């Protein structure tokens, strides 16, 4: 199947893909990627040093054209993580323009003079396309195997939900080794025919200086955009502002709407499922909620108590299984997230069952609800809530807060005035910053065990 359908269209598109230093037309990208693909003959799996550049787009495109599994490697991966990914994936080549240790694997330059190649025949829909490594609660990262069919199904579903067309220009500065930045942010434009402008880094200044119709960001990005009002107002001409990878605080939602004139689109997904739930471009945008299942996806809650349950999903967008492990045995995939689903089908993600469902004094408390209450306080800029073992309560609700000068006991009282008293944080730690990963998600395990 032609996963990257737009590359084969007869009409060229100038500046189809660009970063701050380089741009390629659609035909130039196809020519460069096809030439590189010819040098992958015989390989089954290749690693890609996934810098936020056009070079990474060329490398991933080459692998997909050739039918070789592509394994993006984070450019900031430490020695142990990089060695694990290369060893576990069985990658035979490292596609990279960066000098460095490839741990015994042959390297192949992405960018060097080559005659434009002829596009190879793309493989069947069921063939594996990407192996994305994702960390769990225990053990080293696992390789998530995503098929061409799953990628195509998800991108086509989002094209419908977001009214995403070839007339759009997507702007983002996200990493190119995750679903958000790579699958949505690169393969989306290459399948649907829109332009991609990657800003290198997701700063308010770079977003404001780059004209587009769609902008992708994680909550940290949008929070920083709102903290730069002049830059935020430059996004008023955009058609969609999309937030994902972590819950968007209601305060940021409201600030973004006030500054840009439109409420953001929120969506929900995982590496294993791709994007399964989203707000529609032509529908309501409800703060604190991620919308409805996308076409081809079903959801359900299990173990429902107090309106909250464990979210499971099934559909065409799900992964094949974890690399080097038995294939999935059940159509339904347990996400590990706790959610609510309203009578109208709207989903709200409470958080991870392992870290965001706190069992305190016989009550089940969603960390996200407490975080939202804390963020209503004018002094609070960021908040993360976890459950800490407690001899009497089972778990004690504990908050880590980045804030202007304020007394911790005042924040606890503030929450108690807005939620049930048992939901107030018993302990509030004032910190300079919250630990986050490359996608801006707060690393709550570091807070609980640090």
Q: d(Cα 444, Cα 401) in Å, to the nearest integer?
A: 13
Whether 280 and 242 map to the same domain: the answer is yes
DSSP secondary structure, 369-426, as one string: HHHHHHHTSTTEEEEEEEEEEETTTEEEEEEEEEESS--HHHHHHHHHHHS-GGGS-S
151 and 70 share one domain: yes
Structure confidence at residue 23 (pLDDT):
96
Residues 319 and 390 occupy one common structural domain: no
Alpha helices in 162-314 (DSSP H): 188-192, 204-209, 219-226, 229-233, 250-260
Instruction: Read off the DSSP letter of residue 245.
Output: S
Domain boundary (336, 352, 368) is at 352
- Shared domain for 438 and 373, answered yes or no, is yes
| H or E segment and range at residue 60 | helix 54-66
The CATH code of the domain that includes 344 is 3.40.50.12780
Whether 419 and 314 share a structural domain: no
418 shares its domain with 341: no
Q: What is the dihedral of CA 334, 337, 342, 347, to 10 degrees?
A: -100
If asked whether residues 197 and 277 sit together in one domain, one would say yes
CA 342 remoteness from chain centre: 24
260 and 236 Cβ atoms separated by less than 8 Å: yes
Based on the domain organization, do 404 and 437 belong to the same domain? Answer: yes
On whether both 421 and 282 belong to a single domain, the answer is no
The CATH number of the domain holding residue 404 is 3.30.300.30
Q: Where does a domain end: 312, 337, 352?
A: 352
Q: Are residues 27 and 172 in the same domain?
A: yes
Write out the DSSP string of 304-349: EETTEEEEEEEETT---EETTSPBP--SSEEEEEEEEE-TT--EEE
Secondary structure element (H or E) that encloses residue 147, with its range:
strand 142-147
Tally of domains within the chain: 2
Q: Which residues contact 362 (CB under 8 A, 6 or more apart)?
A: 394
Residues 348 and 361 in one domain: no
Which of 352, 384, 419 is where one domain is finished? 352
Domain interval for residue 440:
357-449
Instruction: Give the residue among 44, 11, 45, 12 at the shortest CA–CA distance from 26.
Output: 12
pLDDT of residue 134: 85
Distances from the Cα of 177 to the Cαs of 72, 232, 295, 322, 372, in angstroms?
A: 5, 26, 25, 17, 29
Task: Write down the pLDDT at residue 343.
Answer: 95
Polymer length of the chain: 450
CB 273 within 8 A of CB 296: no
Do 168 and 254 lie in a common domain? Answer: yes
Per-residue pLDDT tens, the chain, 450 aa: give them. Answer: 689 888 888 778 889 999 999 999 999 999 999 999 999 988 999 999 999 999 999 999 999 999 999 999 988 877 778 888 999 999 999 999 987 767 788 999 999 999 988 888 888 888 999 999 986 544 678 999 999 999 999 999 999 999 999 999 999 999 999 999 999 999 999 999 999 999 999 999 999 999 999 999 988 899 899 999 999 999 999 999 999 987 888 888 999 999 999 999 999 999 999 999 999 999 999 999 999 999 999 999 999 988 889 999 999 999 999 999 988 888 999 999 999 999 999 999 988 777 777 878 766 787 888 898 899 999 999 999 998 888 777 789 999 999 999 999 999 999 988 887 888 999 999 999 999 876 677 888 888 766
Rounded (to 5) percent helix, strand, coil in the chain: 30, 30, 40
């Amino acid at each position: 199947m032609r996963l990257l359908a737009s590359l084969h269209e007869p009409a060229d598109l100038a500046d189809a893909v660009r970063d701050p230093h380089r741009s390629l037309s659609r035909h130039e990208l196809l020519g460069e990627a096809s030439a590189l693909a010819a040098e992958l003959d015989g390989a089954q799996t290749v690693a890609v040093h996934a810098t936020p550049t056009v070079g990474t787009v060329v490398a991933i495109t080459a692998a997909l054209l050739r039918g070789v599994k592509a394994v993006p490697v984070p450019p900031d991966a430490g020695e142990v993580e990089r060695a694990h990914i290369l060893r576990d994936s069985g990658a035979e080549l490292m596609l990279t323009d960066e000098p460095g240790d490839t741990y015994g694997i042959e390297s192949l330059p992405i960018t060097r003079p080559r005659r434009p190649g002829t596009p190879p025949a793309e493989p069947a829909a069921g063939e594996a396309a990407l192996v994305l490594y994702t960390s769990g609660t225990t053990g080293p990262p696992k390789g998530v195997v995503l098929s061409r069919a799953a990628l195509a199904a998800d991108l086509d579903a989002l094209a419908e939900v977001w009214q995403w067309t070839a007339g759009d220009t997507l702007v983002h500065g996200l990493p190119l080794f995750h679903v958000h930045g790579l699958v949505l942010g690169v393969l989306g434009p290459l399948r649907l025919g829109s332009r991609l402008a990657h800003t290198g880094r997701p700063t308010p200044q770079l977003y404001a200086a780059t004209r587009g119709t769609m902008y992708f960001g994680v909550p940290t990005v949008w929070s920083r955009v709102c903290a730069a009002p002049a830059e935020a107002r430059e996004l008023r001409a955009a058609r969609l502002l999309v937030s994902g990878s972590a819950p968007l605080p209601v305060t940021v939602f409201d600030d973004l709407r006030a500054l840009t004139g439109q409420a953001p689109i929120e969506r929900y997904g995982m590496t294993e499922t791709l994007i399964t739930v989203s707000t529609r471009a032509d529908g309501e945008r409800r703060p604190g909620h991620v919308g409805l299942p996308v076409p081809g996806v079903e959801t359900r809650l299990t173990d429902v108590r107090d309106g909250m349950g464990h979210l499971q999903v099934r559909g065409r967008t799900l992964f094949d299984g974890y690399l080097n492990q038995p294939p999935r045995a059940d159509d339904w995939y347990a996400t590990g997230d706790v959610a609510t689903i309203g009578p109208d089908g709207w989903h709200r993600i409470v958080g991870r069952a392992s870290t965001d469902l706190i069992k305190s004094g016989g009550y089940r408390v969603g960390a996200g609800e407490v975080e939202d209450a804390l963020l209503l306080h004018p002094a609070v800029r960021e908040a993360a809530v976890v459950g800490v073992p407690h001899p009497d309560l089972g778990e004690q609700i504990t908050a880590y807060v980045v804030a202007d000068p304020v007394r911790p006991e005042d924040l606890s009282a503030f929450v108690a005035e807005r939620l049930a008293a048992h939901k107030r944080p018993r302990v509030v730690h004032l910190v300079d910053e919250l630990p986050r990963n490359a996608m801006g998600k707060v690393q709550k395990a570091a807070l609980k065990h640090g």
